[in-house]
Structure 1
Amino acid sequence: MLLVEDESLVAMLAEDMLLDLGCEVVVAMRLDKALAHAQAEDFDLAVLDVNLGDARSYPVADLLLERCTPFLFATGYGQHGLDAAYRTVPVLQKPYQAAPLEHLLVRLLNGEGRDRTAAAGLPPSCRCPATEAAPKQFRADPVR
């Protein structure tokens, strides 16, 4: 899991939530680091804070879309805080809360939202075949 979050305390909180869900987490707090990780590694999922200081995480989002990596945006501004081209990407309302985070991750893992991204002119976030019914609780495989 790639977590892109520029606020250190918020990043630690989100990382703890993801670790509690069984995820292996790579944290990037700057756009250049996030891009480097996204280019060098394959991730199952990603959580992207939209605003990274004076930059936005859209270049990382574009790279993840190209690589068919499911992701969501995290922002305190909701859907309206996104550029129009990204408004079909799932959004986690900040501050981070465990239950909504888990819910959106399960949706992403099950391929939900692929048709919405295609309708917006974006490539699908994942071209994998749809998985079986959603598990009751999200648990990432701790072994890569």
Structure 2
Amino acid sequence: MIDRKLEGLRILVVEDDFHQAHELKELLTEAGAMVTGPTGRAEQGREMIGHGVDMAVIDINLGRGQDLETARGLREQGIPFVFLTGYDRSAIPSEFQNVRSLGKPASAGEIIGTLAQIIRS
């Protein structure tokens, strides 16, 4: 059983890999979160920000290359987020160097622990 450290949080998931997106949704739900999405399209991710989210987990590459539209929208709204990506830290543009990044594949403990830490800070 997973620790319910994310109880009651509304978390947006933007991930274009179907299996990873749904595994992440299941993990976050089991940890107590209410998941918005998942979506694999930045336009939908940006739109979903307006539905009221507390934080987000987003992939930096959504199939057609780097897509930072959702990240910029989250930053504009002051909503914390973490990148979950297969790229190393050097692939993240300098404007997002202060954003936490987890490499794929990340363990359940890493994902939940990082999100819990971010929301507490």
TM-score calculated relative to the size of structure 2: 0.84
TM-aligned CA deviation for residue 32 of structure 1:
1.5
CA contact (8 A) 1:75 1:81 kept: no
Matches for 1:3-82 after TM superposition, within 5 Å: 3-26=13-36, 27-38=38-49, 40-82=50-92
- Residue 34 of structure 2 aligns to a residue whose secondary structure is coil
Q: In the aligned structure 1, how far is the partner of 2:109 from the partner of 2:119?
A: 15
**Structure 1: segments with no counterpart, 5+ residues:** 112-144
Tell me the percent identity. Answer: 28
Cα distance in 2 for residues equivalent to 1:95 and 1:16: 15
Rate the CA distance shift 1:51–1:23 in 2: closer, same or farther, 3 A: same
Runs of 4+, deviation exceeding 6 Å: none
Query: Larger C-alpha radius of gyration, 1 or 2?
Result: 1
1:85 matched residue in structure 2: 95
Structure 2, unmatched stretches of 5+, are: 1-10
In 1, are the aligned partners of 2:55 and 2:80 still within 8 Å (CA)? yes
Checking the alignment, whether the CA contact within 8 Å between 2:42 and 2:68 is kept in structure 1 is: no
Shift of the 15–96 alpha-carbon distance from structure 1 to 2, 3 Å rule, reads: farther
Are positions 1:100 and 2:103 aligned together?
Answer: no
Q: CA RMSD in A?
A: 1.2
CA distances 1:41-74 after superposition (whole Å, capped 9, x unpaired): 1211100100001143411111111111110001
What TM-score, normalized to structure 1? 0.72
Partners of 1:74 and 1:35 lie apart in 2 by 17
Alpha-carbon shift at residue 24 of structure 1 (Å): 0.6
Q: What number of residue pairs does the alignment pair up? A: 110
Q: Structure 1 residue 96: deviation in Å?
A: 3.3
1:126-137 matches, cutoff 5 A: none
